[in-house]
Amino acid sequence: MVFSSITFLFAFLPIVLLVYYISPRFLKNFVLMLFSLLFYAWGEPKYVFVMIASILVGYIGGIMVDKFMCKDNVKMAKLAVVMSVVINLGVLFFFKYFDFFADTINNIPSINIKTLGLELPIGISFYTFQILSYTVDVYRDKAKCQKNIINLAAYITLFPQLIAGPIVRYETVAEQLDVRKESIDDFGEGVRRFILGLGKKVLIANMAGEIVDSISKLSANDNTVVLAWISAIAFSIQIYFDFSGYSDMAIGLGRMFGFKFLENFDYPYISKSITEFWRRWHISLSTWFRDYVYIPLGGNRCGKVKTLRNIFIVWLLTGIWHGAAWNFVIWGIYYFVLLTVEKMWLGKWIEKMPKLVSHIYALFFINLGWVIFAYDKLPALKTAVFNMFGLNGLAFANDTTMFYLISYGMFLLIAFVAATPFPKKLVAKFMDKMSNKSEVASGLIESVVLIGMAVLSVAFLAGEAFNPFLYFRF
């Protein structure tokens, strides 16, 4: 089940909200846990037991760490952390990476490891990282051990962020799990944020995805260099509005139930460097790797060589985290190289560049990075990159190119502008002027716009079958 589905919008969500709000306070976390398990089991009933087992490992690990730390037995507490981490990462490896590992090793003569062909449990990368951060934070004394297994399970299974994040750390919601107050204002803000995310997903990401899908089906005679770039740009738009839209919906849903999740995106496509881009894109993931991998390895406090080693490890793991395929390994190393070049040499030059030049520089490499990300088959990746740079003998442009430019050029331009803070600032300025004249009028206008966006999104969902979520495969 996905947020942008008729079943979720008109059946699951209304029922959850009704049951949640009529339940007494002491049952609310149980209600969320129960419906979250149902939400997950809707698509993958057999893998819900894998998640429950992971929760139990995290729960027992936290209890053991707390017990040993109270006795000042740091050695045993550290062992409990290691065991929890090894078991959870072992489960992640088994389901997500075993076949990739086996296929790679099988390239060596006389070795033939049988692959398992297992389906990937949805969201396993996200909830595994949440369990790991919980156990480690208890050890670091950054979070108190949660002795109520229902509360811990509610945190890990919480359906708004279960499938595709953001990665919500236990320390940021620990207090909210025990004590939170729902309000009409928070609920209204949650609805507003959810509708904006739904609009991003349905009205922009899906359309961009259809452009990518359409171009991918063109014959070599119809395809061109320009179309290869249009496809790449459309995918960049699709993945941003798909993932940031999902994050908006997750944050909005959390707000409806009294939770306040941290932001996950901060207009990444306005970045003027790759370093800035990764401060703005998937913030919950990049900060997770910083706090749980980069800094524990020594960060930048141990000389240039080890700093480069630490950056390499982080970006290799970041690539692998996204998927069990060589393109994700290449994608991680690609960003390691770019970030290293900026850190060691190019950063000073970027600061002196005109903003337009540095912005074009960043977008060029970000866009190329998404091409690497998009193709998990290396031959297809090679073809896509060669097409973009005219190395496959494609014409630069043709009549088909003009058709796509005329049909989708305005949409791509509007989508690009929508990925910047400009629309938000424009709307805020307009609403501010309206509120000075009449608060009732400004509130009415905002309500009409949101209702219109919701109705339009539902109409698109009802009439179209193309509704993928790119990050579901992670």
CA dist list (Å): 186 to 269, 291, 376: 29, 30, 41
**Residues paired with residue 395 on neighbouring β-strands, in sequence order:** 224
- Check: CB of residue 412 under 8 Å from CB of residue 403: no
Q: Which long-range contacts (CB under 8 A, 24 or more apart) does 174-179 make?
A: 174/143, 174/144, 174/146, 176/258, 176/259, 176/260, 177/29, 177/146, 177/151, 178/151
Identify residue 241 by its one-letter amino acid code: F
Q: Which of 207, 281, 263, 215 is nearest to 237 (CA)?
A: 207
In the set 211, 322, 400, 454, the catalytic residue is 322
Q: Which of 187, 186, 183, 191 is nearest to 451 (CA)?
A: 191
Residue showing tokens 């007494």: 24
- Check: CB of residue 39 under 8 Å from CB of residue 1: yes
- Token pair, residue 382, equals 């090679």
Other C-beta atoms lying within 10 Å of the C-beta of residue 63: 17
Q: How far apart are CA 288 and CA 127, in angstroms?
A: 13
- Check: CB of residue 412 under 8 Å from CB of residue 233: yes
- Check: CB of residue 420 under 8 Å from CB of residue 280: no
Q: Which of 295, 298, 339, 293 is nearest to 317 (CA)?
A: 293
Q: Which of 162, 193, 203 is nearest to 418 (CA)?
A: 203
**For 85, phi and psi rounded to 5 degrees?**
-65, -45
**Residues paired with residue 224 on neighbouring β-strands, in sequence order:** 395
Q: Which of 290, 242, 274 is nearest to 469 (CA)?
A: 242
431: enclosing H helix or E strand: helix 422-437
322 a catalytic residue: yes
Residues recognised as catalytic = 322
